[in-house]
Amino acid sequence: MKILWHSNAPFAPTGYGNQTDIFSRALAKRGHDVTVSAFYGLQGGRLKSGNIILLPAGHKEYGSDVLEAHYQVHQPDVFLTLMDVWVLDPRVTEKLPVAAWTPVDHQPIPPATKTHLKAIRHPIAMSRFGERMMRQAGFDPFYVPHAVETQVYKPLDAAGRSEARKLWQVDDEKFFAVCVAANKGPRKNLDRLLKAWARFVDAHPESLLYIHTDPRPFNHGHDLSQLVELYEIPRDSIRFADQYRLIMGDYGSERMNALYNAADVFVLPSAGEGFGVPIIEAQAAGCPAIVTDFSSMSELVADPALLIAVDADDLAATPQGAEQALPKVSEIARRLETAFHLRANPAVREIARELALQYDVERVMERHMLPVLECIAEINKAERERYADEAQA
């Protein structure tokens, strides 16, 4: 198949970049012709990585100005976009047989997302939650989950975990919790996490929370350092990523795998997730995960005891015209308490790994991605042949 993939560059340190990287390589390894249109992460010239061509961004922010020309020049069997569908120009996408692999993190689908999906020929959900929301809105989507390289993110033995703790400068006796989340807007509920951590660490002072993010209030995020002061969190119980290394993309997969192995628990009390790649990466490394029992997160956790419970009163309207979760601070603290008491149980780490194996990239490729791409390619081929016959008639 000839595949044109429109998303972040495969070397961009984002979830979309991560998935572009592992799937483009997996497709190319199987002999498929893959071209990546990078609307973010590459500008001013094309690159070639192995057999994969990387095209630079156009002038418009999400590449809507180059989509139609890309299709005309490359004539792919499948034209796949991996991004939020509502940022695409429907006047462009309605002309093209676009397969939009897109997140849904609200309930129900927000009006703008629904409007833009109407201009998409082949919607693809990346979670079962997203699939349900699309069907409730009247669409008939394919389903392909995001994936993880489980040979890269993997458990280390006891000696390896001890070395990982030394690498991340964490004492063996500390309870070590980790959160990996971009501090952009309020969606990750990092303010609630810090408030819950203040309560938890008061009872368990030999604990450390590391948040792999920029604590500064850029991109409408929280001023996390200010919140540390507000909630009177002891300075020795909280740590953020080295900002220079984070900006320079200096945290590679080997170091992140060491982080997850060093951790006793991963925690992410998001309001909603389209998928949640770090949740699966952590569990692939054997690290149990605490997440909100909402959207895709409910299907990504091995141990139900670590799901942050929410009810109808915990759902709140967002500016997108739908609802997301606002988990109670007390529930986040309660799940941290559960993880604290489970930290010495090796079975917890084993079942986390078992769940993550379901999302191994090779398994997802064979069971989901390839069958969906082949189906879309056949549909597109039949439509092209029909249009050609009509033109000759």
CATH number at residue 377: 3.40.50.11930
265 domain-assigned: yes
Q: What is the mean pLDDT of residues 37-66?
A: 94
pLDDT value, residue 249: 84
251 inside domain: yes
Q: Judge whether residue 2 has pLDDT over 70.
A: yes
Query: Do residue 205 and residue 332 come from a single domain?
Result: yes
Specify if 153 maps to a domain: no
Instruction: Give the pLDDT mean for 283-304.
Output: 97
Position 115 in a domain: yes
Does 337 share its domain with 294? yes
Average pLDDT over residues 197-225: 96
Separation of alpha carbons 128 and 132, rounded Å: 6
Whether 242 and 115 share a structural domain: no
Does 184 have pLDDT greater than 70?
yes
Which secondary-structure segment (H or E) carries 372?
helix 370-392
Check pLDDT > 90 for residue 387: no
The answer on 109 and 131 residing in a single domain is yes
* Helix-strand-coil split of the chain, %, nearest 5: 45, 20, 35
> Are 73 and 137 contained in the same domain?
yes
Q: Give the model's confidence band at 384: pLDDT under 50 very low, under 70 low, under 90 confident, else very high.
A: confident
Instruction: Note the pLDDT of residue 219.
Output: 85
Look up the pTM and report it. Answer: 0.96
Looking at residue 164, its pLDDT comes to 98
- Asked if residue 137 belongs to a domain, the reply is yes
- Kindly report which listed range (49-53, 154-158, 364-368) carries the lowest average pLDDT score: 49-53
pLDDT confidence of residue 332: 98
Given a cut of 90, is residue 385 above it in pLDDT?
A: no
Q: What percent of the chain has pLDDT over 70?
A: 98
Q: How confident is the model at residue 218 (pLDDT cuts 50, 70, 90)?
A: confident
Asked, for residue 186, whether it belongs to a domain, the answer is yes
Q: Residue 61 pLDDT > 70, yes or no?
A: yes
pLDDT at 366 over 90: yes
The reply to whether 140 and 166 lie within a common domain is: no
Is pLDDT of 393 > 90? Answer: no
Q: Are residues 36 and 171 in the same domain?
A: no
Predicted confidence band of residue 391 (pLDDT cuts 50, 70, 90): low
Q: What pLDDT sits at residue 388?
A: 66
In this prediction, residue 383 carries a pLDDT of 84
In a domain, 152, yes or no: no
Whole-number Cα distances in Å, 275 to 150, 159, 192, 226, 258:
17, 32, 21, 29, 22
Model confidence at 390, pLDDT cuts 50, 70, 90, reads low
Both structure tokens of 88: 């695409």
Indicate whether 21 and 140 sit together in one domain.
yes
The burial of 337, by beta-carbon neighbours within 10 Å (0-12 exposed, 13-18 middle, 19 or more buried), is given as middle
One domain for residues 143 and 175: no
Residue 337: is its pLDDT beyond 90? yes
Are both 101 and 165 inside the same structural domain?
no
Q: Per the structure, how many domains does the chain have? A: 2
Question: Do the strands 98-102 and 78-82 form a parallel or antiparallel pair, or are they unpaired?
Answer: parallel
Report in angstroms the alpha-carbon separations of 208 from 148, 253, 263, 269: 27, 22, 10, 17
E strands present in the chain: 2-8, 33-40, 47-49, 52-55, 78-82, 98-102, 122-125, 142-143, 175-180, 207-212, 238-240, 265-268, 289-292, 307-308, 315-317, 323-325
Go through the chain and tell me how many residues it has: 393
Checking if the pLDDT of 229 tops 80, the result is yes
Which residue segment(s) compose the domain that 310 sits in? 158-357
Residue 371 within a domain: yes
Question: What mean pLDDT, rounded, does the chain reach?
Answer: 96
What pLDDT score was predicted for residue 105? 98
pLDDT tens-place string over residues 104-120: 999 999 999 999 999 99
> Are residues 172 and 127 both part of a single domain?
no
Does pLDDT of 389 surpass 80? no
Q: What is the domain-level CATH number for residue 163?
A: 3.40.50.2000
Confidence of residue 151 (pLDDT cuts 50, 70, 90): very high
Residues 91 and 202 in one domain: no
